[in-house]
Chain A
Amino acid sequence: MNSLQIFVLVLAALFILLLPFSRTIAFKYGRFVLLLFVGTVMLMPFVWLICSAFKSTDAMSQYSFLPPVSKISSETINLGNFHTLLAPESTVQGPVTFWRYLTNSLFLASTLTIVSLFFSSLGGYALAKHRFAGRNLFMIYMLASMTIPGVVLLAPNFAVIWRLGWMDTYKALIVPGAVGAFGIFLFRQAMLSVPNELIEAARIDGCSEFRIYLQLIMPLVRPMSGAFCLISFMGAWNAFLAPNIFLQSQSKLTLPVVLNQYMGTYVQHYGVFLAGTLLAMIPPAILFFSLQKEFISGLTSGAVKQ
Chain B
Amino acid sequence: MKFPYGPAPLAILIIAVLTGIALAVWGPLSHAPDYRPPDLVLATFVPEQAEVYHNAIPEFEKQNNCKIEIELVDQNALQSRLQSALQVGADVPDMVELMYGTMGVFTKGPLEDVGLVDLTDKIKASGLYDRLVTNRLSKWSSRGHVFALPHDVHPVLLCYRRDLMEQLGIDINKLTTWEEFSRVGREVVKKTMRPDGVPEHYMIDMQSDGNDTLILLLLQHGVGLFDAAGNVTFDSPAALDVVCWYVKQVEGPTRISFPCGEGQNFAKAMIDGLCLFYFCPDWRANRIELEIPSLSGKLALMPMPAWEPGGLRTSTWGGAGLAFTKQCRNFDLAWKLAMYLYYDRAQLGPRYAVTHILPPLKSAWDLPQLSESSPFYSNQSLGKVYSAMAPFVPEEHDFAYNTIANGKLSEAFTNASYYYKVHGEDGLREYARAELKRCADHVRLVMARNVFLKPQPAQVSEASGK
Contacts and interface: CB of A to CB of B under 8 A. Distances in A.
A107 B48 contact: no
Nearest to B320: A265
Contacts of B445: none
Contacts of B463: none
A155 interface: yes
Contacts of B444: none
A290 B10 CA distance: 13
Interface in A84-109: 90-94, 96, 100, 103-104, 106-107
B39 interface: no
Contacts of B283: 266
B6 A244 contact: no
21 contacts: A57-B293, A61-B293, A62-B268, A64-B268, A93-B29, A94-B32, A110-B16, A110-B19, A117-B9, A154-B80, A154-B84, A155-B83, A158-B81, A159-B88, A167-B91, A219-B6, A225-B9, A233-B12, A245-B81, A260-B74, A290-B11
B168 interface: no
Interface in A225-265: 225-226, 229, 233, 244-245, 248-252, 257, 260-262, 264-265
Interface in B87-135: 87-88, 90-91, 99
Of B9, B48, B267, B357, most buried by chain A (CB within 10 Å of CB) is B9
- A interface, size bucket: 35 or more
A128 interface: no
A159 B91 CA distance: 10
A136 B45 CA distance: 48
A91 B32 CA distance: 12
Contact of A267 (B28, B48, B262): B48
Given A91-B29, A110-B13, 10 more contacts: A58-B292, A58-B294, A61-B270, A90-B54, A155-B87, A244-B77, A251-B28, A261-B72, A265-B45, A266-B283
Contacts of A251: 28-30
A260 B16 CA distance: 24
Contacts of A294: 6, 8
A291 interface: yes
Nearest to A118: B5
A262 B75 CA distance: 12
Given A92-B69, A222-B5, A261-B47, A267 B290 contact: yes
A172 interface: no
Of A223, A262, A270, most buried by chain B (CB within 10 Å of CB) is A270
A127 interface: no
B432 interface: no
B32 A162 contact: no
Contacts of A252: 28, 30
A226 B80 CA distance: 35
Contacts of A107: 16, 19-20, 22-23
B16 A62 contact: no
A215 B76 contact: no
B74 A257 contact: yes
Of B4, B26, B32, most buried by chain A (CB within 10 Å of CB) is B4
A218 B5 contact: yes
Interface residues of B, number: 63
B85 interface: yes
Contacts of A229: 8-9, 12
Interface of A: 52, 57-58, 60-62, 64, 90-94, 96, 100, 103-104, 106-107, 110-111, 113-114, 117, 121, 154-156, 158-159, 162, 167, 214-215, 218-219, 222-223, 225-226, 229, 233, 244-245, 248-252, 257, 260-262, 264-268, 270, 287, 290-291, 294
A255 to B, nearest CB: 13
B84 A291 contact: no
Contact of A92 (B6, B70, B77): B70
Contacts of A226: 6, 8-9
A265 B46 contact: yes
Contacts of A114: 9, 12-13, 16
Do most interface residues of chain B lie in helix, strand or loop, or is the interface mixed?
Answer: helix
B99 A265 contact: yes
Contacts of B379: none
10 residue pairs, one from A and one from B, having the closest CB atoms: A61-B267, A93-B29, A107-B19, A158-B84, A110-B16, A159-B88, A222-B6, A244-B77, A162-B90, A218-B4
A219 B74 contact: no
A264 B85 CA distance: 23
B291 interface: yes
B454 interface: no
A129 to B, nearest CB: 16
A30 to B, nearest CB: 34
B287 A267 contact: yes
Contacts of B99: 265
Contacts of A249: 29-30
A117 B22 CA distance: 23
B286 interface: yes
Contacts of B73: 244, 248
A60 B290 CA distance: 12
Interface string B274-295: 0000000001001100111110
B8 A60 contact: no
A103 B48 contact: no
